[in-house]
Structure 1
Amino acid sequence: MQSFIQYWDSVDQSMIKIYGIDTSDAGISADDIAFAQEALMKPKEFVEWWGSKYDLTPISEYKINLGKSTRVLK
């Protein structure tokens, strides 16, 4: 099992990869991280749950066009 700090680092990396922000930017507290770890949630699973709960937009829904960020409509 990962230590608390290792788990938090994994959550941070997943948050950056999926949403382009870290846990601090997302408002995730140490208590939130501890809850997820105790609930045996995988870091990516927690990040996806958090993103859904707070209606975050994954960076995959954006594209970069000559330095301007535009949302890709589906």
Structure 2
Amino acid sequence: MRVRTVLIAACGLAMLAACSKKPVTPLPPPPPPGAVAGSSAADRDGDGIVDGYYTSDGIYHPYAPPAPPPPPPAPTRRGERG
């Protein structure tokens, strides 16, 4: 008699578990600036920072670091009064 009660309770719990809501997966973050929509991010050196991206045709496009500003012009060899 107890086995029957336990089996009925187990079946009821199994049916309720099947109806439970699935966890909602968050949307992926938007691509970083400079990436093309529909491309895949690439981390070539394995440091955990995205280095570039692959387009759908398999071509790798690296992110170019911003160029440093040019150095200031050198002072003239003559003085102010020349």
Pair in the same fold by TM > 0.5: no
Higher-Rg member (1/2): 2
TM-score normalised to structure 2 length: 0.26
User: When you count helix as a share of all residues, which structure comes out higher?
Assistant: 1
Q: Which has the higher contact order (CA 8 A, sep 6+)?
A: 1
TM-score normalised to structure 1 length: 0.28
